[in-house]
Each structure stands twice: as structure tokens, then as C-alpha cells.
Amino acid sequence: MHRYRLASLLAVAVVIADQATKLWVSATMEVWTGTPVIQGFFNLVHVLNRGAAWGFLSSESIDWQRPLFIGVTIVALGFIGYMLKTTPASDRWMTSGLGLIAGGAVGNLVDRVRLGVVVDFLDFHVGQYHWPAFNVADCALTVGAGCIIISMFFNRGPAKSS
């Protein structure tokens, strides 16, 4: 499969899955509520995150984070496009990683533009220790980064001696 087609299919699939799950959570749960799925380990929650990963810059007193994150996302998507253009067609790991990251970035970008915040709803915890809530787009970003690391591992050249 051509690298642009593969990356585009993955990105579109992520955006659809991300937006569909966020719409479902928004339609079925009140904001700031949760429902245990696996007692003591996993909850579905409805959280609104105005910041970045793990709530970074999430304060309501910061009024510039929305345009900042929208701008950073647009620049990142441009860089992803450049990376995809320079990626060998045979490197499926890199192509897949870039497609997943693009889809995750667009999924959260849609929320920022439409709502001014990102909807998060997956809440994992062990006892009192909680991982910050996240969403399908965040999962795609993480898996995409993993794919890129795998690509870099498999495609590194022979070690050069000094």
C-alpha cells in the first residue's frame, strides 16, 4: 500500500474513532462524573482538559493556551507531512506511526477548535494512584510514537567507529 494512502487511512480511522467515542461520552455522561468499569482499575469519566498532556497548562487563568496548542498542532501536522514525504515507501513502521500521530493530533485539534477543550474519558488507576484521563487520540499518539521508535530501531545503519 502506498505510504500516503496507509498514513491517511490510519489518520482518518483514528479521527473517526476518537470523535465518535468523545461524542458518545458527551451524550451519555455529565461532565466531571465517572462510572467504574473494572472496580479499582478502570473508570469511564467525562473530563474537559483545556491544557496539553496530563493537564499541562490547564489553568483557566491562562487565556493563550488554546491558540498556542492549535498553532503547535498545525506546525506539527506540517512536519508530519514533511516526514512522510521523506520516509522510504518500504518503511511501514514509520508510515504507520506518522499516520497515527496525525490522526491523534487532528482528533484533539477538532475538540480544541469546536469546544475550546479536549474531551478525555479513559481513567486507569491502581488504588489511589491515577493515570491522568486520556482519549482515543492520545492512544494513537502514543502508539504512533512507539511505531516510530520501532522504525528507528529497525532502520538504523551500521554502527560507525570513531
pLDDT in tens, 52-75: 665 555 556 556 677 888 999 999
Residue 94 included in any domain: yes
pLDDT of residue 54: 54
Residue 159 included in any domain: no
Domain that holds residue 90: 3-154
Residue 116 included in any domain: yes
Active-site residue flag, 63: no
- Which letter, b or e, does each residue of 103-130 get, where b requires 16 or more Cβ atoms within 10 Å of its Cβ? bbbbbbbbbbeeeebbbbbbbeeeeeee
pLDDT digits (tens, 9 = 90+) for 106-149: 999 999 999 999 999 999 999 889 889 999 999 999 999 999 99
Residue 126 included in any domain: yes
DSSP E strands, 2-159: 34-38, 42-49, 118-126, 129-130
Task: Choose the catalytic residue: 18, 111, 120, 123.
Answer: 120
- Could you give the CA distance from residue 50 to residue 34 in angstroms, rounded to a whole number? 19
pLDDT of residue 79: 97
CA angle 10–29–40, rounded 5-degree value? 85
- Which letter, b or e, does each residue of 27-50 get, where b requires 16 or more Cβ atoms within 10 Å of its Cβ? eebeeeeeeeeeeeeebbbbbbbb
pLDDT band of residue 39 (cuts 50, 70, 90) is very high
Residue 162 included in any domain: no
Report how many domains make up the chain: 1
Active-site residue flag, 120: yes
pTM: 0.89
Percent share of the chain, pLDDT over 90: 77
Residue 107 included in any domain: yes
Residue 160 included in any domain: no
Helix/strand/coil for 134: strand
- Could you give the CA distance from residue 137 to residue 58 in angstroms, rounded to a whole number? 18
Residue 161 included in any domain: no
Q: Check whether 31 has a pLDDT greater than 80.
A: yes
